[in-house]
Amino acid sequence: QVVQHRLADMFMTMEQGRSMAMLATMMVEQPDADERARKIAQAKVGVGQAARYVSQSAIQMHGGIGMTEEYAVGHYFRRCMVIERRFGDPAYYLQQLAEAVE
């Protein structure tokens, strides 16, 4: 039962990340550049956090074997970490969002 709860949390987090990615896609044609940049930054942070949580949880659920070369889970984790940092890490975008509020 604990595994089912963990999987449900992972699924919900994945869906939130997917929704944030859709938001970023919809904002591409937004005429207001500031609003577009703000929403895309929020999406970058949301997707990065979702990917990190889901991939780390998947490794933990597989135990130590999740990071071996034979299992795809470790490869997906590494890929998520590269994608998370591509075009700026979440900390960079959180800083941008904080400066926009000030």
3-state secondary structure 37-62: HHHHHHHHHHHHHHHHHHHHHHHHHH
Q: What are 75's two structure tokens? A: 């490869």
* Average pLDDT rounded to a whole number, residues 57-82: 81
Q: What are 57's two structure tokens? A: 């949880």
Q: Which run of H or of E encompasses 13?
A: helix 2-26
* Average pLDDT rounded to a whole number, residues 53-81: 82
Q: 89 phi and psi, to 5 degrees?
A: -80, 170
Q: What are 8's two structure tokens? A: 């449900």
pTM for the model: 0.81
Instruction: Choose among 6, 9, 8, 44: nearest CA to 25.
Output: 44
What's the pLDDT at 66?
Answer: 65
What is the tens place of the pLDDT at every residue in 5-24? 989 999 999 999 999 999 88
72 pLDDT band, cuts 50/70/90, is confident
